[in-house]
Amino acid sequence: MIRGIVRAFDERLGTARMTREVLNKVFPDHWSFLLGEVILYCFIILVATGVYLTLFFDASQQEVLYAGSYVPLQGVQMSRAYASALDITFSVRSGLVVRQVHHWAALLFAASMVTHLLRTFFTAAFRKPRELNWAVGVTLLMLAMVNGFTGYSLVDDQLSGTGLRIGYSIVLSIPFVGPWLSSLLLGGEFPGADIISRLFVLHVMIVPSIITLLLVVHMVILVRQKHTQFPGRGRREGNIIGLRLWPTYAMKAVGVFFLTGAVLALMGGLIQINPIWMFGPFRAADVSSASQPDWYVGWLEGALRLMPAWELRASPFEVPNPFYPSLVLAGGVFLVLYAWPWMEARLTRDHEIHHLLDRPSERPVRTPIGLAAISFFAVLFVAGGDDVIAVWLDMSVNTMVRILQLLAIVLPIVVFLVSRSAIRLRLRKQQEKAEPFCPRVGHSRWEARTLAALVLVFVWFTVTSLSSPSPHVLPETWTAKANAGMSGAQMYEAACAQCHGQNLEGVFGPAIGAGTDSEDMSDTLIQAVVFAGIGKMPPMPGVLTEIQVQEVIAFIRQLQGIG
């Protein structure tokens, strides 16, 4: 029967020849070529989970009184967008897991794009004839960042509102057109009447469509130009050695897709991300401290923090401070990325076609430039969380900022010089030994280690860039009934530690340890605060019973005594 169907198609479309070409396509086997595949698999998972979420999300700024199942926020005025995001989290079947998988997949999407870009850069896979596909890839990275930002801004909680307001200030800072542009984007002055519904259209339709189109273009060009390969036995510019697509390679690719899904399911189910119920609805007068954006925007947040208090003014016009570390910096970064293949060809006078890859360990200029750039972004990224780090290190934020400003300039230079002399030394030693050319089959250990280290660093970035210190406890355990039988320490961990810290040191909320005002507060007063709420602290009558609160207070007293 299948033979009949195949013949029917072939009679009408002549598919046999095309099918043969596809099935016989040769893929060079190197683990670093998987990074690009993972991008595609993340995108498929993002679309699948995203479609499920759109079925329940209500992109409206209309204010409602929350009456859903999350007790601490019942009766609070909020937008329908935030209320429906809470419903997805607490009432929709699998809603919380799907939302978290979607968020983790977005982080992995960006992380695999960046590592794929680094692989392409360090091995010089961007050289002629692949400059165009490099440019398509850079555009995809930009679109992934934009879609990530629009995505987590949709929820309309305190954290995303804060991020959106910073984004608004950046648009507003654009010379000449900023005020008009921001008004047209938001439908008025911040917060604007239409921002959520417009971000929604961008996030679920316009940007994903362009991403889909460009992914297809990227792969069509890839098939047309064929893969690059590492130099090695029998590998020439004029051939390509590897596994044929069918059947082994295709099966392995399908396997990697399922493994990507497996890892994301595990993270989405067990590792909390963006616990929106803790942030409350957006209020212009409030701010959650220790607010960090997702990791791929972290470098811009860091640049905003490190920028000195300086701006261009020519009365009556001004180009405000946030313009430089955001749009000028990002514009410059992407401009350099786009121009790199042509720039390098011009400077090295190398206009030849290349299908064999460079080894990063043998390039004394390109590799150090790449490493210097990584160190620069790393400093900016750290600066994006400087307040949190300053608390860890018990250091003043001001000192931290000064050190990081210095590092942002000095570290890239040091990294460049050190790595350049290391590579030169290595090359000289190789020459002295007059090593006969020893073909290695693509799996150089040094490369594998460097790239593995890079992957680890990015996985680490991803994991540590949780929007909040993660308590690893999901909200289902947050009810008085579920708390029955827990000790004071366990209940403190579940209900209080997220804001006041594991050791009362304070995170979003104030420190309540020894020497703070809380030590002098009576038990009755603390109990009243827990039940009524105060400032940003939500009232928690549904979370803990009176006796449970007394147990928690006893636990806090015990810790204060130690401190």
Partner 1 sequence: MPNPRVPRVAFGVTILSGIGLLVVYGTGGQPQLEGLLWFYALAGLGVGIIVGANNYLPNEESEEERHPLASSEEMLAAARADFHRADGGDEALDAERRSLLRLLAGAFAAIGVAVVFPIRSLGPHPSDDLRETDFAKGVRLVTVDGAPVKSGQLGVGELLTVFPEGHTRAGDSPTLLIRYDEEEFLPAGGRASWVTDGMVAYSKICTHAACAVGLYQNVTGLLLCPCHQSTFDVNNACTPTFGPATRPLPQLPIAIDSEGFVVAQSDYPEPVGPGYWDRMNNV
Residues of this chain, 3-22, that bind partner 1 according to CB under 8 A: none
| Minimum distance, C-beta of residue 269 to partner 1, in the bound complex (Å) | 1
C-alpha to C-alpha distance for 57 and 110, rounded to whole angstroms: 23
Pick the binder of partner 1 from 146, 219, 401, 529 (CB under 8 A). Answer: 401
Q: Is 187 near partner 1 (CB under 8 A)?
A: yes
Closest CA to 156 of 228, 76, 229, 222: 76
C-alpha to C-alpha distance for 74 and 276, rounded to whole angstroms: 14
Instruction: Give the angle subtended at the CA of 135 by the CAs of 327 and 133, to the nearest 5°.
Output: 160
Helix axis angle, 295-306 to 131-153, nearest 10°: 80
Binding segment toward partner 1, per CB under 8 A, in 88-96, 113-121, 208-216, 551-559: 88-96
Closest CA to 277 of 498, 51, 52, 486: 498
Pick the binder of partner 1 from 36, 322, 488, 506 (CB under 8 A). Answer: 322
Complex with partner 1: residue 90 or 338, whichever CB lies closer = 90
Number of residues that bind partner 1 (CB under 8 A): 103
| Minimum distance, C-beta of residue 10 to partner 1, in the bound complex (Å) | 24
Q: Is 500 near partner 1 (CB under 8 A)?
A: no
Pick the binder of partner 1 from 305, 363, 420, 500 (CB under 8 A). Answer: 305
Q: Is 440 near partner 1 (CB under 8 A)?
A: no
C-alpha to C-alpha distance for 389 and 382, rounded to whole angstroms: 8
C-alpha to C-alpha distance for 73 and 88, rounded to whole angstroms: 15
Show the site string, 248-287: x = touches partner 1 by CB under 8 A, - = not. Answer: x--xx-xxxxxx-xxx-xxxxxx------------xxxxx
Complex with partner 1: residue 126 or 555, whichever CB lies closer = 126
Show the site string, 466-495: x = touches partner 1 by CB under 8 A, - = not. Answer: --------x-x-------------------
Q: Is 330 near partner 1 (CB under 8 A)?
A: no
What lies within 8 Å, CB to CB, of 339 at 6+ separation is: none
List the interface residues with partner 1, window 214-253 (CB under 8 A). 224-226, 234, 237-244, 247-248, 251-252
CA distance from start to end of the chain: 78
Contacts of residues 75-81 at CB distance under 8 Å and 24 or more positions apart, as own/partner, are 76/280, 76/281, 77/281, 78/156, 78/280, 78/281, 79/156, 79/196, 79/281, 79/282, 81/57, 81/154, 81/155, 81/156, 81/196
Q: Is 392 near partner 1 (CB under 8 A)?
A: no
Q: Is 319 near partner 1 (CB under 8 A)?
A: yes
Complex with partner 1: residue 398 or 421, whichever CB lies closer = 398
Q: Is 186 near partner 1 (CB under 8 A)?
A: yes
Q: Is 320 near partner 1 (CB under 8 A)?
A: yes
Token output for 365: 């200029």
Residues paired with 27 in a beta bridge: 243
* ω into 191 cis (within 30 of 0): yes
Show the site string, 97-126: x = touches partner 1 by CB under 8 A, - = not. Answer: x--xx-------------------------
List the interface residues with partner 1, window 20-59 (CB under 8 A). 24-26, 29
Complex with partner 1: residue 24 or 430, whichever CB lies closer = 24
